[in-house]
Each structure stands twice: as C-alpha cells, then as structure tokens.
Structure 1
Amino acid sequence: MTTQQSLPKAVSAEEWQAALDRLLVKEKELTRARDAVNAERRRLPMMKVEKDYTVQGVNGAATLLDLFAGRRQLIVYHFMFAPDWNAGCDGCSWVADAMTHPAHLNARDTSLVMVSRAPLEKIRQYQSRMGWTIPWYSSYESDFNYDFGVTTDNGERHGASVFHRDGNDIYRTYFTGARGVEYLGTHWTYLDLTPFGRQETWEDSPEGWPQTAPYEWNRRHDEYDI
C-alpha cells in the first residue's frame, strides 16, 4: 500500500502548474530530439535482400515480396515463438496487443505483419486464443529468422525489421530490438521506423520523399479509400 509519506508533495494549483511547465520544457526537448533521430533514420543506407524467402500463412506459402501486399514498405515484427513452445512470448504478446489498426499504416503505403518460427498450426491456435487479426506467418524450417538475427545459438530474439520495395527488389532498412520495441504501438511510431516516415510536410526527409500536409490524410479506419 502507498503511504502518505511516499507520495509526491501536495502543492497549490499555481505551484503545480509551474512544476508542470518546467517538465514540459524537457518533454519538448525530448520530442525534438526524437524528431532528429527519426530524420536520421530516414537517411540510413539500405541492404538489398538477395535471398528468396518463403513463409507459411493462412493462404499457403508466401514470399517476402508477398508480405508487402503490393505496398512499398513492410514492417515485420519478429514474434518470439519457438517450434517447441506451447504459447507465444508474453512480452511479444504485449506488443501485439498494442498494435495499431492496419488501415492507418496501409494508407501510408505500409504493411505490418508478424513472423515466428513456430509451425503455422500453433500460431493459428494462439492467434485465435488472443483474438488478433494482424497477419502472422510461420518461418518454420526457413532461414528467415536466422538470417535476420532473431534466432541465434542463444535462442529466440524479438524485434522489428523494416523493408522497402523498389519494384521487385527488396531492401532491409532498419531493425530494432530489446527495449526499442517498447516505443511501438501507434501508427505514428510504426511509421517513424520506415524510410518514408509519416510522410508529412513538417518532417525533415530527403528530397522527393512522398509528403502531404498533416491532419489531412488521416481518416477513421473504415473511411480510407484503399
């Protein structure tokens, strides 16, 4: 139980507002610093994916190119779920619970999927139990997890990989793991990982990147014309 002695100091409305204003200055600094990091991320070099990968989904075999669903950007959440596990990782399950509605990402030419090493039947059973609809694929008996560094001799590793498509050529542009995934949840934070970013005019992006004015492209998730 929290004791009165351990609670923050109780102050007047004026003192509280002054303390809040001081904190907001630091929060604004953090926001601007994050914007600068996101701008640098949009300028990272890309690594071409040379190998053909095939994973299994509810509609059968799918290539990495298929996972884009015709869009130019793809975010893969590497969900920790080893073949001999009876359920997916609890921490990864928190990430999946917080995932944004895909329509907002799709409207920005971006697809979001999950990939795990567990066999598809185990994935489908766990997905049904958890009530998730995000596309989830099995990389069982594939090199996918190993090549992208999320299955190692030390076991499974979670993370998010970002891919960009230029025609049929695929490039890996970014990866984050460990506490980096705590930042994810909204469509803004997922888009911040991609080469194109949020695609809004206020962003510091390379010349020629697609951009529109903020607060004009967003819709309710059932109102997009996509």
Structure 2
Amino acid sequence: MTTSANNGPKGGQPVMQTPPVVSPQAWEAAREQLLVKEKAQTRARDALAAERRRMPWMAVETAYGFEGPAGKVSLLDLFAGRHQLIVYRAFYEPGVFGWPDHACRGCSMVADQVAHLAHLNARDTTLVFASRAPQADIARLKARMGWEIPWVTITDSFDADFGVAEWHGTNVFYRDGDRVFRTYFLNNRGDEQMGSTWNYLDITPLGRQEVWEDSPEGYPQTATYKWWNWHDSYVADAEPDKKWVEISDAGEAAFRNKPTDPKP
C-alpha cells in the first residue's frame, strides 16, 4: 500500500510505502508477535537498572558551590535533605542560541517533559537543573515557560569536573550523612529518555525501591504500587490508603495470573 505524505509540515514529500492493511485478527497476531520482543526489552531494561545499582561509587571531595534563589548553596544543600540527587546540566547562558529569551532548545524540551517532582521526592530523590545563567535570568525563564524545577547557577568547576562543560548531561549523586558520592552519569541520547519518574528512578542507586526489583541486600524497598499517590497527597497520606491497597492488590493479582507477564 502507498499513501501520499504531502500533508507533512512543508508538503512535497515523497509517497510513503506504508505497511499492509489487515483484518483485526491478523493485526492482533502481529501485535502479539512484537509484544514478545517488547517484553524481552523490558526485562533487559530491568536487568540493566539492577546492574547500575551495583556500580561502584566515586567520592566527591570538592566543596562545590552554586547560586540559588535564596543565595549561595552547596552540592550537599541541593539534596534538600534527601539521599539521592539528580543534576541535569541545562545550557542557558551567554553564547547559547536563544539567550537571553530562551535556553537551548534541546534542554528546554527536556525541561518540558519533566514529570511532577512530588513523585521523585516521595522516593527520597531530588531533581535539580544547573546552568551558568544568573539567577535573575533563570527566574524569568522559569516563569515564562511554566517550569517549577529547582534551578541553580554553576559558579565553579562543577560542569568541567562532571563532564558537562560543553554538552548536556545528567549526573546522579548519593548522600551518606555529609559525604557525597557520584553514582551514575549519562549524556547524548541517554538524556532523551529522561523526564518520566520511572526513568529518573532507574538511574539512581536505590532504583524504584519496590519489592520486585533486584537490588543489593538491605536496600530500601516497599510494596509495589502501594506508595503511588496523587502529587498533592504524599505529605498528608503518610501511609498507603487502604482502598488503594485493595485496588492495587487486585490489579497485581490479575496481571500475575497471566503466564506471559509474571511480574510488574
């Protein structure tokens, strides 16, 4: 089958060679065939995250400093009392295309995709963006774009030391008391998957912290689904709602009864 692609953004594109049109039964059979590969990819992704949780850590010995909305802050301060910190280096500064009205288009697209931070916070994780732009410019940009992500100004060699001086990248840190460790780093196409709560948690040393995960002995884990909540209810609902527990138990049981889907 062929179809015209002239309805594209600028028109005049060549005719597309589209897949065949089949019956509902044939379509479902094709979907089931592809689903086998998709499930294998999901299991491989889970295994990769489990391996990531066992990566060695690197101690951060330098006392890095930043400018925040209320003044000077340290790397330790960025954790906001939590144990895990994710820092995305966003390019917004003199010399960046779009300055001063906009940040880098790619970094801005990343910011547009960030899920509500309450869900990350509920898993003992803080997300922060960092740029070299002054705080006044960052505040203006956030207000214009509707972003609520904590966003600090880099004031020292943090970007050069952590591989994000000339390109975007995401660094992950863990706090043990006053000691800070670098646990993971990704950039290039690795950043394009970021934005969802799950993908962020999968690059942290503690992971999603659910009982089905393959994590080292002693890592914090809670019952699958039970901690999920409305983003404005985490503080108020310290314990899982009983009704939600019943609903999630029923849903989990239904999926576990499927031989092709033994776990979340």
TM-score normalised by length of structure 1: 0.94
1:124 to 139, 145, 153: 139
Structure 2 partner of 1:27: 38
Deviation at 1:39, TM superposition (A): 0.3
User: Are 2:58 and 1:47 equivalent residues in the alignment?
Assistant: yes
* Alpha-carbon distance in 2 for matches of 1:65, 1:13: 56
Deviations 1:41-73 (A, max 9, x none): 000000000000110111111100000000000
User: Are 2:236 and 1:222 equivalent residues in the alignment?
Assistant: no
Structure 2 partner of 1:108: 123
Deviation at 1:79, TM superposition (A): 0.7
Counterpart contact for 1:83–1:119, Cα < 8 Å: no
For structure 1, the 5+ residue unaligned runs are none
Q: How is 1:80-119 mapped onto 2 (pairs within 5 angstroms)?
A: 80-85=91-96, 86=99, 87-119=102-134
Structure 1 partner of 2:159: 145
Counterpart contact for 1:117–1:145, Cα < 8 Å: no
With over 3 angstroms needed to count, the CA separation of the structure-2 counterparts of 1:19 and 1:65, relative to structure 1, is same
Count of residue pairs the alignment pairs up: 221
Deviations 1:91-118 (A, max 9, x none): 1111110101111011110000100122
Q: Which has the higher contact order (CA 8 A, sep 6+)?
A: 1
TM-score normalised by length of structure 2: 0.81
Structure 1 partner of 2:68: 57
Structure 2 partner of 1:189: 199
The structure whose Rg is larger is: 2
Deviation at 1:5, TM superposition (A): 5.9
Deviation at 1:133, TM superposition (A): 0.7
* Alpha-carbon distance in 1 for matches of 2:16, 2:197: 40
For structure 2, the 5+ residue unaligned runs are 7-14, 239-264
Counterpart contact for 1:38–1:193, Cα < 8 Å: yes
Counterpart contact for 1:74–1:111, Cα < 8 Å: yes
Counterpart contact for 2:76–2:180, Cα < 8 Å: yes
